[in-house]
Amino acid sequence: MKLSLKWLSDFIDLSGLSDEQIIDQMVKCGFEVESVEKLSEGTNLVVGKVIECKDHPNSDHLHVTKTDIGTEVLDIVCGAPNCRQGLKVIVAKVGAKLPGGEIKAGVIRGEASNGMLCSLKELGIKEEILPADSPSINGIEELDDRFEVGDTDILNKLGYEDTILDVSIYANRPDCLSMYAMAKEMGAILNRKVTLPDFNGVANIGDKSDFVLTSESENCPHFLAKVVNKVTIKESPDWMKQHLRANGVKCINNLVDISNYVMLETGQPLHFYDLRSNKAKEITVRDDYEGTYTALDGIEYRIEKGDLMITSENKPIGIAGIMGGDNTKILDDTSSLIIEAALFDHAQIRRTANRLGLQTEAAARFSKGLEPLAQNKAVDRAVQLLIELADASGFEETVEYGKPDYEPYEIRESLTHLNALIGKKYTMDEAVSVMKRLSFDVRVEKDDFITSIPSYRSTDLVIPEDIDEEIVRLTDFDDLTATLPLMPQTVGKLTSIQKIRRVIRDILTKHGFYDTVNYTLVNDKYIREAILPAGKPVELISPLSDARRYVRTSLMNSLLEALSYNLDHNNGNVNIFEISKVYSENGEEERLGIIMEGNTIEEKLKHLVLKADFYVIKGIVMEILNSLGFELGRIQLKENDLDVTHFHPYQSAVLIMNNKPLCIFGKLHPIYLRSLKLNDVYYAEMILDDLASTNPGKVKAPVISKYPAVSRDISLMVKEDVKAADLLACIKKAGGRLVKSSDVFDVYMGEHIEAGYKSISLNIVYEDKEKTLKTEDVNDVHNKVVEELLSRFDATQR
Amino acid sequence: MLDLEALKNEALKAIEEADSKTLEDLRIEYLSKKGKVQSLMAQMRDLSAEEKPKFGQMVNDLKNSIQEAMDLKKEKLESAMLNARLMAEKLDITLDAYAPKQGTLHPLTLVQNELEDVFIGMGYNVAEGPEVESDLYNFTKANTPEGHPARDMQDTFYIDPTHLLRSQTTAIQMRVLEADANNLPIKVICPGKVYRRDDDDATHSHQFMQCEGLVIGENITVADLKGTLELMIHELFDKDAKIRFRPSYFPFTEPSFEVDMTCHICHGKGCPTCKGTGWIEILGSGMVHPNVLEMAGIDSKKYTGFAFGVGIERVAMLKYGITDIRDLYTNDIRFLDGFKR
């Protein structure tokens, strides 16, 4: 909402208040000022008269002038084509600060120039708000006889001295999209008296009308029309033009200007139709029109069912609430008209305006909602101005369809409730004085104060808390004492999944992985290439682009994108992860994705390099699970039979828990990576929900044996497909309770080993918790273990 | 007799000049069974019975003196050798240390964790909810019925006419209110991702994070809201920060406030970060609208409450001096590596 302070001063005495003070008060009371614009700017300006004007000897377009400014005669070089002897002009003296910079004394192509003759455009006035015939458009401004040489009060006298605030209006205050409501608001904010023009009931004149008005759409519940049989088209007065210009509205003629002006004043968009274009004297609002329609901007728009249209004789004559029609607009020779003031459903106007891309002032106001009595007020004011400025006569009575949806009402609030909600000690006087500043009628009954709500605040003020907000808003609130809620003590804690996230992030960052956050919305390729997709993807109705059309069903592609970005920027050894939800039509899943590329450990000074491989990512995955209290046993490790398109079929695995896939990990498939121009990437994706809902194993202190343990090594030659886990299980089974632990410490294939075989070396630790093991005892059990290994796995001992 | 003194002086001088190699030779020369000291014992035969013990004593003293001198010298030499060896092991202490490489938490995670910890410390729980939401929780129950002008404030990603990507974590609050309507009081914060149809640029992102807070109980006031937010700002930014409330509008709170804090860079003096005002707009808040309570089945005559919401990106950008919101979603490890603490 543009707020012209000059216009505001027509209603409120703003004397003694600087622009800054006004803005400061507005901000405190809930009106953010987004920008402050001076309609015109310039210091050191004075009225001068060109007493001599010659062509510049060294230029084909410059003039050399002698300009009298009363106190002296200045030499000024001027390039304007309309510069001529005898002209009264605006002179910017040396030192003047203009929007384009400071004026300095100088020499232009050999001629002295001590100042500048100005166009209004050079004083910051936008061309679009200048009258079409303004000399300032192509040259310097030509001042009339109101100005005397030496005058310095120029911009004010021209009506261009104004500060325009761009005020942001919250959705609950659509009333403030009108000058009158804004003036009342400003009166309350600044605590000054507001005087508005009186036009109540002015439109209650006119002869009986046979004009027929109907609405066939529930989205137009109220409509007023008034026929004016005689108007005189002419130029609007300066004061009106100034206010319109300050609001960025182009001035056309008195009739169009009045309709715009009344909209700015009352917030009700008005439309005037040339009466000649409505032979049938009939208007019907419909929402079933389909086809094209040319609006008064000359552009053809596609109208769909649901769009509100103003029609006459079944033909459209305007797009309701948005823009009038080309076929019914006010013309240069219009001499009679129909005033339209209607209420259209805000949501429907918003839909139509958005679809047509037609964001007019009228559409903006309808979209945000109007005050219930706006139609009547606007017609009253329009009639008043038409009589005053367009010699209007031959009025017919106002024709009305429907009724305004408003009954006067009151809100009762008690001081006790107010103070209990705010935590402050307002007095009744303070509460009542705020209501009075807002020009609300208020009366006090014991602890209660009862406020009558005017129509223009009825959209916003409904419950006692709304009244409380007005009091808080319009009184000093910085002194509110801060307290903390007095409540029963509670224990705040993280949920299971929240703790799991923290544990995982802790482990991974300690191992050199970076936590990342990626976008949820992805393209269709990411959906096709999902890992363990959560289900059928969720798709947006109207995405911003195809790249962000779907809600991702797995994390891998986002992480690969982050990996590629980093590799493209020469960041090597990319170890990153993400914890995020993924979605499908089946619902949500919480996931962890981990990517490893390059080296996991790279310590050049120490000649220490650990390249990422299957076992490194397996180790990371298992460490996470172990730290969360889940060991192999509750979780089964299987060869990957779930996804061999994206994973290397022989260097990947899946983990199963509760008969469901928990994690897939390993090397990504070289063919898939080639399509992404990537080499050797290891990836794991884990579903976290089951970990959160399954009880982890309990922590139990280990029992340390008092008796020494005995360690034995054994090397076996076995077929290459024998699995380490099977060997270890066999050892455990054969050795029974005396086997404290066993592990593989070497695997070798290649030279000196028969093809198809591998050498595998194991370490077994024996221990008895009750006694010291004798050598014979160890030999007995170890021999048993060895025999079992040799026979079960068709192995030989090396 | 003079022989003894001369021998002693000769030996001590030789020991003094010895190095670790020759010291062993000197021991043999003087102190071995056939050494110079032992051979003095041969003179015993020529001495009288009363002179013998005296002489024996003197030889013994001589032996001890030489032994002592040798021990001392040995110790000295060893210590010099050790010193030389240690010196040869001298390191360049400025060379890079070996420390296992650590990754970092994402700045958004850091801020979220910090918020969670502050409020858990005050006895709040951390609530979550789905990002694919129904318009019921995202809008309707938040006092924003269909056609409400406030739905215009947020351009929302719809999935079908009644489902959307949540545009505000208010949706979580509405779920908590409904679930805990018979389990009051409520003290939760609700962090999470939200989505709006904004084109990405330096200050806009179609995806961002919010953290809202909700307290419902008896006699909860705006003053309580102020105290709670003050505590939060003190923990997050600056223990001396002040806050101020400016009236605002949200459909689900009444009255509603924008909250400004004194600038954490200049402490209110005015600087480029706060555009010279000394204040920074940090969050939105208000008293929960009675309609919201009633829709959740809570008696708004008996219970009141406050709600607030802060942008996690906004906090991260202010705290860490990030100027482009897209940096938070690019995941450049050179950027991420800056958040070691």
Is B100 domain-assigned?
no
Sheet-wide strand order for A636-639: A514-515, A575-584, A587-597, A681-687, A660-668, A647-657, A636-639
pLDDT score, position A704: 87
Q: How far apart are CA A32 and CA A285, in angstroms?
A: 37
Is the same domain home to B210 and B311? yes
Q: How far apart are CA A120 and CA A136, in angstroms?
A: 6
Residue B175 belongs to domain with CATH number: 3.30.930.10
Is the same domain home to B35 and B129? no
Is B98 domain-assigned?
no
Q: How far apart are CA B323 and CA B325, in angstroms?
A: 7
8 Å CB contact of A518 and B329 = yes
Contacts of A608 in chain B (CB under 8 A): 98
Tens digit of pLDDT for each residue in A193-224?
999 999 999 999 999 999 999 999 999 999 99
Is B248 domain-assigned?
yes
Tens digit of pLDDT for each residue in A697-707?
888 998 888 99
Is the same domain home to B163 and B36? no
Q: Which of B103, B185, B220 sits opposite A515 (nearest CB)?
A: B103
8 Å CB contact of A30 and B251 = no
Domain stops at, among B25, B59, B88:
B88
8 Å CB contact of A539 and B228 = no
8 Å CB contact of B215 and A565 = no
Q: Is A723's pLDDT higher than 80?
A: yes
Q: How far apart are CA A99 and CA A104, in angstroms?
A: 14
Is the same domain home to B207 and B251? yes
Contacts of B301 in chain A (CB under 8 A): none
Is B32 domain-assigned?
yes
Is the same domain home to B170 and B84? no
A99 preceded by a cis bond (ω within 30 of 0):
no
Among the residue ranges A503-512, A601-610, B226-235, the one predicted with the least confidence is A601-610
pLDDT score, position B107: 97
What average pLDDT score do residues A635-649 get? 94
Tens digit of pLDDT for each residue in B246-269?
999 999 999 999 999 999 999 989
Domain count for chain B: 2
Contacts of B109 in chain A (CB under 8 A): 505, 515, 517
Domain stops at, among B88, B117, B132:
B88
Tens digit of pLDDT for each residue in A371-389?
899 999 999 999 999 999 9
What average pLDDT score do residues A542-570 get? 95
Is the same domain home to B83 and B113? no
Number of H helices, E strands in chain A: 20, 43
Interface test with B, best of A434, A438, A514, A573 (most B CBs within 10 A): A514
Q: Is B153's pLDDT higher than 70?
A: no
What average pLDDT score do residues B183-207 get? 95
The helix (run of H) or strand (run of E) holding residue B14 is helix B2-17
Is B263 domain-assigned?
yes
Is B251 domain-assigned?
yes
Q: Is A464's pLDDT higher than 80?
A: yes
pTM over 0.90: no
Domain stops at, among B58, B88, B118:
B88
| A&B contacts, CB < 8 Å | 247
Q: Is A248's pLDDT higher than 60?
A: yes
Interface test with A, best of B132, B169, B205, B279 (most A CBs within 10 A): B132
Q: How far apart are CA B309 and CA A108, in angstroms?
A: 61
Q: How far is A202 from chain B (nearest CA, A)?
A: 32
8 Å CB contact of A520 and B195 = yes
Q: How far apart are CA A417 and CA B287, in angstroms?
A: 13
pLDDT score, position A221: 93
Domain housing B14: 2-88
8 Å CB contact of B159 and A538 = yes
Question: Does the CB of A545 have a partner CB in chain B at under 8 Å?
Answer: no
Q: Is B154's pLDDT higher than 60?
A: no
Is the same domain home to B184 and B240? yes
The Cα-based distances of A233 to A277, A318, A332, A336, A474 in angstroms read 17, 22, 7, 10, 45
Beta-carbon count within 10 A of B30 CB: 24
Q: How far apart are CA B54 and CA A115, in angstroms?
A: 126
> Within a 13 Å sphere around the CA of A387, how many CA atoms are in the beta-carbon half?
13
Contacts of A505 in chain B (CB under 8 A): 105, 109
Is the same domain home to B225 and B80? no
8 Å CB contact of B222 and A421 = yes
DSSP A551-568: E-S-SHHHHHHHHHHHHH
Is B102 domain-assigned?
no
Is the same domain home to B171 and B307? yes
What secondary structure letter does DSSP report for A86?
T
Q: Which of B148, B224, B336 sits opposite A514 (nearest CB)?
A: B336
Q: Is B237's pLDDT higher than 60?
A: yes
- Chain mean pLDDT for chain B: 91
Question: Does the CB of A481 have a partner CB in chain B at under 8 Å?
Answer: yes
State ipTM.
0.87
- Nearest Cα to Cα of residue A798 among A738, A765, A753, A739: A753
Domains of chain A: 2-39+163-190 (3.30.56.10), 45-158 (2.40.50.140), 212-401 (3.50.40.10), 409-474 (3.30.56.10), 496-693 (3.30.930.10), 710-797 (3.30.70.380)
| Residue A489 binned pLDDT confidence (cut-offs 50, 70, 90) | confident
Q: Is B2's pLDDT higher than 60?
A: no
Is the same domain home to B24 and B150? no
Is the same domain home to B57 and B148? no
Question: Does the CB of A575 have a partner CB in chain B at under 8 Å?
Answer: yes
Question: Does the CB of A583 have a partner CB in chain B at under 8 Å?
Answer: yes
| Residue A754 binned pLDDT confidence (cut-offs 50, 70, 90) | confident
Is the same domain home to B81 and B116? no
Contacts of B100 in chain A (CB under 8 A): 510-512, 601
Tens digit of pLDDT for each residue in A566-582?
999 999 899 999 999 99
pLDDT score, position A397: 95
Question: Does the CB of A566 have a partner CB in chain B at under 8 Å?
Answer: yes
Interface test with A, best of B153, B222, B231, B235 (most A CBs within 10 A): B222
| B277: closest chain A residue by CA | A24
| A492: closest chain B residue by CA | B123
Q: How far apart are CA A503 and CA B126, in angstroms?
A: 17
